[in-house]
Amino acid sequence: MDGKIQKIIGTFALPEGSVEAAPYGNGHINDTLRVIVHTDKGDKRYILQRVNSYVFPKPVEVIENIEKVTAYLGEIIAREGGDPARETLTLVETKDKKHYVISEDGELWRMYLFIEGTKSVDLPDTTELFKLSGSAFGKFQQQLGGFDASVLHETIVDFHNTPARYAQLEDAIARNEAGRLEQVTEEIAFCKKYEREVHTLLDAMHAGEIPMRVTHNDTKLNNVLLDAESGEGVCVIDLDTVMPGLAAYDFGDSIRSGASTAAEDERDLDKVQLSLEMFKAFAEGFLEEAGAALNAREKELLPMGAKLMTLECGMRFLADHLNGDKYFKVHRQNHNLDRARTQFTLVRRMEEHWDEMMEIIAKIG
Ligand code: ADP
Ligand code: GN1
Ligand code: MG
């Protein structure tokens, strides 16, 4: 383990024992390590993360939000007879009783209890599993129904403001910072067709048809930990972007990530299909938990949430490709471009199956 990491781990109030740490998980944003402390009484595990300061320019505000959200959720979970240490994230204190440390190079590091006996998957293997993750994200939204949104910082401004994301793409095109513009003519032409449609959700919100809620905003399937055996949702994680948002954002981003038949960075676009079975399964789980609080228009706009979250994510990948891969972690050449292409293909598939998606939601009611 490198000396810098050792020093950071040493600032947290951990039990006595020898320590090991290794990179962990498939997140695109933070640097995540799994830490193991070998104590006399057995191993204790933790998650150590460097919060990405390019993505989160005010990382202390991220911690402040997480402190408030996890304290709130912890109380609800305890009241319902659950185990807060397993069903929500627990920040580990430093020796000076803070929930983060700033390293010598100015980066913010935090530590969580490792949630044992769980798995996190990138794509669901069964409809049952995806339905259970729908229940977990639906329950999360329902639990935060009474949380006061005004105490939260906006950790990423305009995170799911799809028109603003469209404008950021236009800006990336105009600047052509990485000199990759010629390579992406078709993708840009695709996005241009949606210049008006990107406003749909926010227009409905401004018209008073659908309310702002407290939402997770990053409901990718691997951001919920599932019981390793039963597949039941145990804990919604990655709380960095819990902020005011629309129900359609959380529903939509899960469909984007879990109802596709291919990996987010699949190069063979023929493999990218929309699974209506997965769509239905997630919708059932999500609406069973969160549905009672949603109005009819919110429900009707859920397929639009799926389409716009997928388009938006594609535009963000494309903009990052044009900007020179500064935001999302990349592991190969043109990685963000490959990701953008899968998202745009999935948008097309959703349009092909639009009536079926609308019907599934209407039937669940
Ligand atoms: P990123 O913002 O980079 O996606 P995440 O907070 O989602 O970072 O963490 C990356 C991965 O690490 C998750 O997808 C999950 O697999 C794992 N992980 C994160 N927190 C925990 C935890 N408390 N217990 C167990 N695994 C975790
Ligand atoms: C990022 O942090 P992670 O890997 O769970 C991103 C999401 C994108 C997703 C695409 C803070 O999620 O918005 O939808 O990648 N998170 C942030 O895979 O930008
Ligand atoms: Mg994540």
What is the 205 CA–ligand 1 centroid distance (Å)?
31
Structure tokens at 240: 């960095």
Percent of the chain with pLDDT over 70: 100
* Of the candidates 251, 312, 256, 315, the residue with the CA atom closest to the CA atom of residue 283: 251
Helix, strand, coil % in the chain, rounded to nearest 5: 50, 15, 35
Q: Which pLDDT tens digit goes with each residue over 10-59?
A: 999 999 999 999 999 999 999 999 999 999 999 999 999 999 999 999 99
Q: Which residue's CA lies nearest to atom 15 of ligand 2?
A: 28
CB environment 322-333: b (16+ within 10 A), e (fewer):
bbebebbebeee
> Ligand 1 atom closest to Cα of 240?
2
Percent of the chain with pLDDT over 90: 99
pLDDT, average across residues 190-199 = 98
The sign of the dihedral angle between the CA atoms of 235, 124, 254, 239 is positive
Ligand 2 proximity of 218 Cβ (cutoff 6 Å)? yes
Q: Please report, in angstroms and rounded to a whole number, the separation of the first and last CA atoms in the chain.
A: 53
pLDDT band at residue 155 using 50, 70 and 90 as cut-offs: very high
Other Cβ atoms less than 10 A from the Cβ of 148: the count is: 9
What is the 237 CA–ligand 1 centroid distance (Å)?
7
Q: Which residue's CA lies nearest to atom 23 of ligand 1?
A: 114
8 Å CB contact between 90 and 112: yes
Ligand 1 proximity of 217 Cβ (cutoff 6 Å)? no
Q: Which ligand has the shortest distance to the CA of 111? A: 1
Q: Which ligand has the shortest distance to the CA of 239? A: 1
Q: Which pLDDT tens digit goes with each residue over 126-147?
A: 999 999 999 999 999 999 999 9
Ligand 1 proximity of 284 Cβ (cutoff 6 Å)? no
DSSP state of 238: -
Alpha helices in the chain (DSSP H): 3-10, 59-79, 84-87, 127-143, 162-175, 185-192, 200-206, 247-258, 276-290, 296-300, 302-323, 335-352, 354-364
8 Å CB contact between 212 and 249: no
Q: Which pLDDT tens digit goes with each residue over 223-282?
A: 999 999 999 999 999 999 999 999 999 999 999 999 999 999 999 999 999 999 999 999
pTM of this prediction exceeds 0.75: yes
What is the 26 CA–ligand 3 centroid distance (Å)?
7
Compute the distance between CA of residue 365 and CA of residue 357 in angstroms, rounded to an integer: 13
- The predicted structure's pLDDT at residue 2: 87
Q: Which residue's CA lies nearest to atom 5 of ligand 2?
A: 27
Q: Which residue's CA lies nearest to atom 5 of ligand 1?
A: 238
Ligand 2 proximity of 223 Cβ (cutoff 6 Å)? yes
- The predicted structure's pLDDT at residue 1: 74
> Ligand 1 atom closest to Cα of 222?
14
Ligand 2 proximity of 291 Cβ (cutoff 6 Å)? no
DSSP string, 270-304: GG--B-HHHHHHHHHHHHHHHGGGS-HHHHHTHHH
Q: Which pLDDT tens digit goes with each residue over 69-124?
A: 999 999 999 999 999 999 999 999 999 999 999 999 999 999 999 999 999 999 99
Q: Give me the amino acid identity at 205.
A: M
